[in-house]
Structure 1
Amino acid sequence: MKHNWIINYLLQSRKSDHPLIIGIDGLSRSGKTTFVHQIENELIQKNVRYHTFHIDDHIVERRKRYNTGKDAWIEYYFFQWDIEWLTNYFFLLMKERMMLTLPYYDNLKDVQKLQSVDLAEVELIIVEGVFLQREEWREFFDRVLFLDCPREKRFARENERVKTELEKFQTRYWKAEEFYMTKVNPIEKANFTIRT
């Protein structure tokens, strides 16, 4: 892994009996999942007990995030996840609780299903996803890495069918991303920024 030094730095950052909580932040298609797989492989080699959460596993049902009467970008940024619930029952409890019960989204059935996650033996928790440094969540991370990738490069990584939905990108995704980059300034707030 070309960023092997990051793992060593992160592991040295752990100073308590609680698991170290790492955020892998970045806009859509910036390479977060690939980067997390590289980190996981390194953690396995170092025999570090970890668990990874993908924030998109916890989105809400479509009726709560589409056709709400609000602008599409607002739906995406503010309604895609139940921000308050995740704050109180995921982020707030992650360091303290040995067992979490979380809603996982089933895309085919458009429902959330509760699943339990045992964190009793975990030394490091990775949370991967977009908008992780929003004001409600940033304080829960011990360290955050932001993957910075130009929009043109990210869009080129979309599949051809999705690329035909340009208006959706313009009105929903890109406006929300611009809001996040301007209001939250995740590059400035992150502990590390990595160009992908």
Structure 2
Amino acid sequence: MKEIDSAIGQNERFILGIDGLSRAGKTTLVKKLASMLDTKDIQNLIIHIDDHIVERQSRYNTGQDEWKEYYYLQWDIELLKGILFEKLIYSNELELPYYDNGLDRHEYKNLNIADKKIIIVEGVFLLRKEWSSFFDFTVFLDCPRDVRFSRESLKTQQNIEKFTKRYWKAEDFYMENVRPIAKAQLVLSCDKLVKE
């Protein structure tokens, strides 16, 4: 946490990326960071990338391998690049599509970010080449697969085939090809996060 605190400099606006695989502890870390910023009266905003996934028909049963659907199709990568990441530094307002899981559709909402000093973007695969250059500082939460899997609900754990075909293959591709541990300015283990 100290490393992140010291990285936040005198920028007009500071864009912080919190990356990590599913159930690594990203949300926990983000809550701690936001609380730290609030105590210092630093205006901040959290953006969860999973709030902006696409509709089911665009990411399931597309004819592609399941892991490719998750890695390449779960988000509209180019759309988010244009309406979110490219605007984070200079815009006063964002208009973003928020996904409603129950209705399987989007509702566009406007976010006023004019007074935000720190914007924290939290999510998986943030250091992919299309998005990585937009961050001032990036953190990768490193957590073993068995620990992350143990954090899933028992019902979710029973669908092991979905993990092996969809999630884990995509994660392996990301770790081997994008190499987020090498790219991030700071790597935290989930053990350290629990202790802090």
Q: Point out where structure 1 has 5 or more consecutive residues left out of the alignment.
A: none
Q: Tell me whether 1:71 sits opposite 2:65 in the alignment.
A: yes
Q: What is residue 145 of structure 2 aligned with on the other side? A: 151
Q: What is residue 182 of structure 1 aligned with on the other side? A: 176
Task: Give 3-state SS (helix, strand or coil) of 2:161's partner.
Answer: helix
- How far apart are the structure 2 equivalents of 1:6 and 1:108? 39
Q: Tell me whether 1:168 sits opposite 2:170 in the alignment.
A: no
The alignment's TM-score, normalised by the length of structure 1, stands at: 0.95
Q: CA deviation at 1:8?
A: 2.4
Q: Tell me whether 1:191 sits opposite 2:188 in the alignment.
A: no
Q: How does 1:118-129 map to 2 (within 5 A)?
A: 118-129=112-123
Q: CA deviation at 1:71?
A: 0.3
Q: Which of 77, 80, 83 is residue 86 of structure 1 equivalent to?
A: 80
- How far apart are the structure 1 equivalents of 2:159 and 2:142? 23
- How far apart are the structure 2 equivalents of 1:88 and 1:41? 29
Question: Which amino acid in the other structure matches residue 91 of structure 1?
Answer: F
Q: CA deviation at 1:7?
A: 4.1
- How far apart are the structure 2 equivalents of 1:36 and 1:63? 30
Q: CA deviation at 1:10?
A: 2.6
Q: What is residue 35 of structure 1 aligned with on the other side? A: 29
- How far apart are the structure 1 equivalents of 2:56 and 2:3? 37
Q: Which of 107, 114, 117 is residue 108 of structure 2 equivalent to?
A: 114
Question: What is the RMSD of the two structures over their aligned residues, measured on CA atoms?
Answer: 0.8
Question: Across the two proteins, how many residue pairs are aligned to each other?
Answer: 190
The alignment's TM-score, normalised by the length of structure 2, stands at: 0.95
Q: CA deviation at 1:123?
A: 0.2
The one-character-per-residue Cα deviations of 1:126-166 (angstroms, maximum 9, x if unpaired) are: 00000000000000000000000000000000000000000
Question: Which amino acid in the other structure matches residue 87 of structure 1?
Answer: K
Question: Which amino acid in the other structure matches residue 182 of structure 2?
Answer: E
Sequence identity percentage: 48
Q: Tell me whether 1:8 sits opposite 2:5 in the alignment.
A: yes
Matched-pair contact (CA < 8 Å) for 1:7–1:42? no
Q: CA deviation at 1:124?
A: 0.4
- How far apart are the structure 2 equivalents of 1:48 and 1:170? 42
- How far apart are the structure 2 equivalents of 1:72 and 1:43? 39
Q: What is residue 39 of structure 2 aligned with on the other side? A: 45
Matched-pair contact (CA < 8 Å) for 1:104–1:114? yes
- How far apart are the structure 2 equivalents of 1:121 and 1:184? 33
The one-character-per-residue Cα deviations of 1:38-75 (angstroms, maximum 9, x if unpaired) are: 00110110100000000000000000000000000000
- How far apart are the structure 1 equivalents of 2:179 and 2:99? 28
- How far apart are the structure 1 equivalents of 2:5 and 2:170? 34
